[in-house]
Structure 1
């Protein structure tokens, strides 16, 4: 009996050892397969069709430079600061949740860096927020950078007329795809949707949409938002952009035309050397614009350009507008 028990014990021991070895081999095989899949994903060919540029990526960019604030914030929100060698052109303060990541990336210039600075940084990818980023007057054209083996991406939602929220998401997905962080891209979009829903669900229903005039700049004639993303934000906030019927992103309008449309609220785009307070003082002092209901009732909302742009701060922009449009509800 004793010998039989000993034999059974030895067989069990051998079985357990073989099972452990088999399990270890299986785990190592899974880890090996995961590493292989990851490596394959990093080098698979990706084609991105972006504003008449079809770019083929076989490697993840490792030395990226962002050229405008809202696209800088997209890069940082995707956790790509370690893949960046520079940023440029802040409109105002960086979005607070991204400040720590932003501080890890060198600032190349207060506005656009020179082509020489970009070459010196050994950049392999440029991300522009506005079409001005890739003009001969500012930095250089995309064709010039391509000749230097530097790829580029231009934020489509910032240059196309009447961009939607989905257009911003398409840009985020493209960047996430280029850098092979698609899961982060989808997570970011989900978080943005949740934040937006939390704001819009609190907005009161209005029988008549509030008539809103977006004041960007100007003293003789006025630069205003027409069908850019500011128009989308105003609409999402349940109001009506009084110049939203013009098919362009921005337009220059006369003071008389602005007065004729009788805006009840003015959104001040806050950026640049002229402060929002100075813009409000101008509106109050101007003989024509001071006659609008918005100015006479001192109905102003100050919105930072960085929040109004086609980036990750949609919920923040909506909250600012909602609190300004419907102060009784907040």
Structure 2
């Protein structure tokens, strides 16, 4: 539901100054009409989406007009749908690149913070919708949980991968684009975007479909142990779409730590190195440093990947589930199966 900006601002400031109280009555505007991108009009106040998102149910009676996005994949999903004019801020990019095709649109959106925004920064942006690509966008640590934001009349949305309890698929990216299109009443734009992204994905699959899959260890970070990804992460689905197999894709986790001996036992063909960001502050350790660290680990020295010095790369932004992930699949496929791309 949606409340006036002035009401939200006052309520949010009271929230910061005192303990939240139960039973807050939220005022819902029911005047005017909403028009979707098919040209059909709808009376404001009429329910058009009733969504259960990661355990929180939201009834949408009017498309959000003042959105804030947290993390690159939430931002890119909005920009993919041409919704930059509905955005009053982005945050938590942490030096990550925005997909090149969204650079101009991204430049029109205020950046609230490179880290998580404070509650005060959210107050100043006056959002009616806060969208996070990852669970840490909503937590006690940030000072703005979904419940806290809901108490002041702000709708929230979390990319469903963030609450997944089982394996995820690339189709979940397309489903999320469709959902955001429904929330913002731009279903035609969502349909067009999904069709274009699917076509690109199908092209990759047709090129690498007959190739022998490459076994892949995704290396995020770590020296004593290694941070990697399991079955419940979109990264595993992206690797598979690019003609690879995650060697830890049978482990029902999103992100986890493994020993170097476990990596050696599964003997990957390649070690996929995750790039952290594009600015010096967030590039540490760099890809070069990570590769040097890997080459210095005795336990994996006999693996195929180390012997061949096979270190494809992917950026953290591409790994986060969103439209830019299709760029990530294309990037991976060219590295896994270069002959298939001429």
Larger Rg: 1
C-alpha distance in 1 between matches for 2:304 and 2:169: 29
Q: Counterpart of 2:57 in 1: which secondary structure?
A: strand
1:300 to 303, 311, 319: 311
Q: Counterpart of 2:334 in 1: which secondary structure?
A: helix
C-alpha distance in 2 between matches for 1:264 and 1:89: 34
Corresponding residue number in structure 2 for 1:137:
141
In the TM superposition, residue 327 of structure 1 has moved relative to its aligned partner by 2.3
In the TM superposition, residue 283 of structure 1 has moved relative to its aligned partner by 0.3
Q: Which runs of 5+ in 2 are unaligned?
A: 1-34, 277-281
Q: Determine if the alignment matches structure 1 residue 243 to structure 2 residue 248.
A: yes
Corresponding residue number in structure 2 for 1:197:
202
Higher normalized contact order (CA 8 Å, seq sep 6+, divided by chain length): 2
C-alpha distance in 2 between matches for 1:172 and 1:193: 12
1:148 to 152, 177, 185: 152
The 4+ residue runs of structure 1 with deviation greater than 4 A are none
1:95 to 89, 94, 99: 99
Corresponding residue number in structure 1 for 2:61:
58
Q: Cα distance 1:93–1:82, how it changes in 2: closer, same or farther (>3 A)?
A: same
More helix, by proportion: 1
Question: Is the Cα–Cα contact under 8 Å of residues 65 and 125 in structure 1 kept in the other structure?
Answer: yes
In the TM superposition, residue 290 of structure 1 has moved relative to its aligned partner by 3.0
1:317 to 310, 313, 328: 328
In the TM superposition, residue 199 of structure 1 has moved relative to its aligned partner by 2.0
Question: Is the Cα–Cα contact under 8 Å of residues 133 and 139 in structure 1 kept in the other structure?
Answer: no
C-alpha distance in 2 between matches for 1:64 and 1:238: 36
Question: Is the Cα–Cα contact under 8 Å of residues 76 and 102 in structure 2 kept in the other structure?
Answer: yes
Paired positions, count:
296
Corresponding residue number in structure 2 for 1:128:
132
Q: How does 1:160-309 map to 2 (within 5 A)?
A: 160=164, 161-203=166-208, 205-207=210-212, 209-227=213-231, 228-271=233-276, 272=282, 273-309=284-320
Query: Root-mean-square deviation (CA), in Å?
Result: 1.9
In the TM superposition, residue 43 of structure 1 has moved relative to its aligned partner by 4.7
TM-score by length of structure 1 reads 0.85
Q: After superposition, what is the alpha-carbon deviation per residue over 1:86-124, rounded to whole angstroms, capped at 9, x for unaligned? A: 001225211111100000000000111001110111111
C-alpha distance in 2 between matches for 1:129 and 1:283: 30
C-alpha distance in 2 between matches for 1:310 and 1:290: 32
TM-score by length of structure 2 reads 0.82
In the TM superposition, residue 218 of structure 1 has moved relative to its aligned partner by 0.8
C-alpha distance in 2 between matches for 1:317 and 1:158: 19
In the TM superposition, residue 34 of structure 1 has moved relative to its aligned partner by 10
In the TM superposition, residue 48 of structure 1 has moved relative to its aligned partner by 1.1
Question: Is the Cα–Cα contact under 8 Å of residues 36 and 186 in structure 2 kept in the other structure?
Answer: no
Question: Is the Cα–Cα contact under 8 Å of residues 272 and 313 in structure 2 kept in the other structure?
Answer: yes
Q: Counterpart of 1:66 in 2: which secondary structure?
A: strand
Question: Is the Cα–Cα contact under 8 Å of residues 176 and 184 in structure 1 kept in the other structure?
Answer: yes
Q: Cα distance 1:155–1:204, how it changes in 2: closer, same or farther (>3 A)?
A: closer
